[in-house]
Chains A and B, each alone.
Chain A
Amino acid sequence: SQTIHQWPATLVQPVGSPLSLECTVEGTSNPNLYWYRQAAGRGLQLLFYSVGIGQISSEVPQNLSASRPQDRQFILSSKKLLLSDSGFYLCAWSRLGRGTSYEQYFGPGTRLTVT
């Protein structure tokens, strides 16, 4: 079966500090990978998605970046955090290919508080 891991689970960082969140998927190959942010009481905002190693599409201009150094690893980074970067960060994966329903499966999330 497939599992998706995220770490850390919670993080408190000062404004201006760097950020690195990691996501890994087990039990599948060539997944689509996604990073979302959910502000308190709000919906899911898609930040980045990737259909393969080194292939990253950005949805929202911001001070965040993403990388996919390995097939099942997805990293979200920032060089300098802003207060508005606080939120619940979720990584998700879906199957890639024709004839699939593309439902996305989410990791447990990282709750980031920028102080």
Chain B
Amino acid sequence: GQNIDQPTEMTATEGAIVQINCTYQTSGFNGLFWYQQHAGEAPTFLSYNVLDGLEEKGRFSSFLSRSKGYSYLLLKELQMKDSASYLCAVGPRDYKLSFGAGTTVTVRA
């Protein structure tokens, strides 16, 4: 089975940095994904890691350590529009992604 853990909520100030951690235990692994979901909207794909290390995409970076079953999403220079839920997902196993419950990030002025 799959077990994916991430914090429920985080709050940060505009312009700051926030790191969202995700730990996982899976019976198979072929990649870790991060999604952003604004309230009332569908999730949108942010990043994909399959090898250990850091992947950077503008203000967002994602890190993976397969031996530790650990990933984080780093959001830099926070903006108000970054207030959203961030979903960690592991996959694919039989073409399926397993999603964590999501971390709600609130950015305050």
A91, chain B: closest CB distance, angstroms = 9
A25, chain B: closest CB distance, angstroms = 14
* Total residues of chain A contacting the partner, CB 8 A: 22
* Total residues of chain B contacting the partner, CB 8 A: 22
Known: A43-B99, A44-B99. A106 touches B43 (CB 8 A): yes
Chain A residue at minimum C-beta to C-beta distance from B4: A43
Contact B95 A43 (CB under 8 A): no
Known: A102-B91, A106-B44, A107-B42. A43 touches B102 (CB 8 A): yes
Q: Which residues of B contact A34 (CB under 8 A)?
A: 96
CA A51 – CA B48 in complex, angstroms? 21
Most chain A beta-carbon contacts within 10 A, residue among B31, B94, B95, B102: B95
